[in-house]
Amino acid sequence: MGVLFLIMALGYGGYRAFKYSMFPLKKVVIRDNNFQEDSPLIAEVSRHKGQNVMWLRWVTGSDFILKKFPKIEKADMDITFPATLTLHITEKEPWLAFLGETGSVVIAKDGTLLSDGATDGGLTEKDNLLIIRGLPPALFDHDQLSDVVLAKLRTIVDKVRYHFPDAALQLDCTGLDFSSEFEGLDDVVLLRDDTLPVRLGSLVDLEKKLVLLKKFFWYYGKEIDPKPLEYIDMRAKGKVIVKYAENG
């Protein structure tokens, strides 16, 4: 019994010595983050100061970071001996940008809000995000969009991007009905080149409307001297209704 107790005591003592006495964490460095601010990350990791950096790297791992910070997809740790831990952050990819009164709110495809509207997080033209307008500010009161909102937006965005992958487009969702996840009283307007309104109306037969619209733009682009368009209306079943600009 005494021998067993001695072995357990030595084992526990070795565990404590390795975890807390050797190479204790003193400095935290954050790399490659864009939307997620440094200070909360540093504060969270610094709660483990005094622990062995190797223990943190290979035993504790980064799961506690991913649970606490939903903007982060992955966090890799590097050690600089004797006491520095560097976190290399991989954030969730931007999917949409919502333009509001306070700025742009960027979200990932799982509905995570990556920016709070005060900044665009350093987005560039290469991100080619579909821009959404006309959404109620209350939708962004939480860190995550609701399932109903996300389902509606995915229905529209995935189909629009499939048929128009490289076009400069915006969506005016002022008339989008978020009271139900089903196709109801929706009235969506697509803006081509940020200026030409395309009235899509409800989400009923959205796929067919986009196919028809794509064909219209193809034929319109073949015209030698096309008249300027004022708007396009897709709300009549199976038809593309066009109003040409009066000065065209």
- Any idea what DSSP says for residue 52? B
Q: How confident is the model at residue 151 (pLDDT cuts 50, 70, 90)?
A: confident
Question: What are the residues whose beta carbons fall under 8 Å from the beta carbon of 172, sequence distance 6 or more?
Answer: 133, 134, 188, 189, 190, 191, 197
Residues 53, 32 contacting (CB under 8 angstroms): no
> What is the C-alpha separation between 232 and 224, in angstroms, rounded?
20
pLDDT single digits (tens) 65-116: 999 999 999 999 999 999 999 999 999 999 999 987 767 889 999 999 998 7
> What is the C-alpha separation between 93 and 95, in angstroms, rounded?
6
Q: Tell me, which fold does domain 20-91 have in CATH?
A: Ubiquitin-like (UB roll) (3.10.20)
pLDDT single digits (tens) 103-139: 788 999 999 999 876 555 555 554 678 889 888 888 8
Q: What is the pLDDT of residue 119?
A: 55
Beta-strand runs (E) in 155-234: 169-175, 187-192, 196-201, 229-233
For residue 122, give both structure tokens.
Answer: 């350093």
Query: What value does the mean pLDDT take over residues 131-157?
Result: 88
Concatenate the DSSP letters of all residues of 104-140 into one string: EEEEETTSBB---SS---S--GGG-PEEEE---GGGG
Q: What is the pLDDT of residue 117?
A: 65
Q: Per-domain residue ranges for the chain?
A: 20-91, 94-201
pLDDT single digits (tens) 27-49: 999 999 999 999 999 999 999 99
**What are residue 112's DSSP bridge partners?**
144
pLDDT single digits (tens) 5-27: 334 433 433 444 444 558 899 99
Query: What value does the mean pLDDT take over residues 206-235?
Result: 93
Q: What percent of the chain has pLDDT over 70?
A: 83
Type of residue numbered 61: G
pLDDT single digits (tens) 174-205: 888 877 666 667 889 999 988 899 999 988 89
Beta-strand runs (E) in the chain: 27-31, 72-80, 84-91, 94-100, 103-108, 130-133, 169-175, 187-192, 196-201, 229-233, 241-244
